[in-house]
Amino acid sequence: MSRTAILAGCAELPSGDGDDDAVVPALRELGFSVSWAAWDSDADFASADAVVLRATWDYASRRAEFLDWCESVPALYNPAGVVRWNTDKSYLAELLDAGLAVVPTALVSPGDTARFPSSDFVVKPSVGAGSRGAARFAAGADASSHVAALHAEGQTALIQPYQSSVDTEGELALVYLGGIYSHAFAKSAMLGSTMDDSGLFLSEKLAPAEPPAAAVALAEDVLDAASALLGILRAELLYARVDLVPGADGKPLLLELELTEPSLGFRQTDPAAAMRFASAVRQQLA
């Protein structure tokens, strides 16, 4: 049976940054005709059997337009409702309320006054990707103007204590395909690194990693809690990436749950991961 899959990128990177290259032949082996297209292009998304968000990194500045487009695509993965929830980092507060170990997060909406932590801290937009708009401040610094700049764009500001373990140990990203653990990779510290040539994201240094048991346990809890909040089964998430950092006590904390357009680290893991991804796409259509 021949089916069509479109991998969605953006105008600057219409066929991604290379991370997903191995996914294309894997999908073809499973019977898909595969193409890439920028999400805001005139490709025939309506008749594709699967439209898979992979590199739509420019949505942050046009989220409403992006979400409208998501709603218009009949077979979108992850689905539009998941994308709506996940493209605003306010979901971190919901996961915190659900009892999960999350990096302490204060949300400051336009009109509200920010209070800054007494340690080093980060201010970032609640809608953002690729580290854009995220800045690190020293303890005691006045970050009001950064908050004001985010508010002027209509953004809610997120304030978190800076997790200094990011500098020494980096982030751990656990990848789930169809709700099942697939692989993990490590990411070195981002803030202070350089912007990618495309200007869409900070360059990342990635390496394969074996997650400790505590990290896997937290990632599992995060997926269960997110699915419950979304009212879906874990298996309905074609892909999920759980980004963890060690807290001050060494125990993992959730920094971000990526359900929209995360790099999945296919170049940092075993070659079979691309086939697991393609198989998970088939599972969604079954």
Ligand X SMILES: Nc1ncnc2c1ncn2[C@@H]1O[C@H](COP(=O)(O)OP(=O)(O)O)[C@@H](O)[C@H]1O
- Based on CB atoms, which residue is closest to Mg ion, 5 or 245? 245
Q: Binding residue for ligand X (CB under 6 A) from 93, 134, 180, 214?
A: 134
Q: Which of 9, 16, 79, 128 binds ligand X (CB under 6 A)?
A: 128
Query: Hey, which residues between 200 and 259 contact Mg ion (CB under 5 A)?
Result: 256
Backbone angles phi, psi at 64, to 5 degrees: -60, -45
Out of 23, 103, 226, 281, the residue judged to bind ligand X by CB under 6 A = 103
Q: Does 171 sit near ligand X (CB under 6 A)?
A: yes
Interface with ligand X in residues 207-246 (CB under 6 A)? 243
Q: Residue 247 contacts by C-beta under 8 Å, 6 or more apart in sequence?
A: 101, 103, 163, 165, 253
Site for ligand X, residues 66 to 95, rule: CB under 6 A: none
Of 66, 16, 52, residue with least CA distance to 196: 16
- Residues in contact with ligand X, total (CB under 6 A)? 19
Give residue for tokens 């006045």.
142
CB-wise, 28 or 205, nearer to ligand X?
Answer: 205
Q: Which of 208, 259, 210 is nearest to 54 (CA)?
A: 259
CB of 282 to ligand X, least distance (A): 29
* Cβ-contact 6, 35 below 8 angstroms: yes
* Binding segment (CB under 6 A) for ligand X, from list 123-131, 144-152, 217-225, 226-234: 123-131
Burial class of residue 154, CB neighbours in 10 A (0-12, 13-18, 19+):
exposed
CA 39 to each of CA 10, 15, 21, 42, 200: distance values in angstroms, whole numbers, following the listed order: 6, 11, 18, 8, 15
Nearest approach in angstroms of CB 63 to ligand X is: 13
**Secondary structure of residue 84 in the 3-state scheme:** helix
Task: Pick the binder of ligand X from 82, 122, 219, 238 (CB under 6 A).
Answer: 122
Nearer to ligand X, 122 or 225 (CB): 122
Residue with tokens 């020494």: 168
Interaction between residue 200 and ligand X (CB under 6 A): no
* Shortest CB 103 distance to ligand X, Å: 5
Q: Which does 103 bind (CB under 5 to 8 A by kind): ligand X, Mg ion, none?
A: ligand X
Compute φ and ψ for 91, nearest 5 degrees. -60, -25
Contact between 58 and ligand X (CB under 6 A)? no
Please give the DSSP secondary-structure letter assigned to residue 202.
Answer: B
> 248 - beta bridge partners?
none
Instruction: Report residue 143 as tokens.
Output: 């970050």
Positions touching ligand X (CB under 6 A) are 103, 122, 124, 128-131, 134, 160, 162-163, 166, 171, 189-191, 243, 255-256
- Note the residues at the interface with Mg ion (CB under 5 A): 256
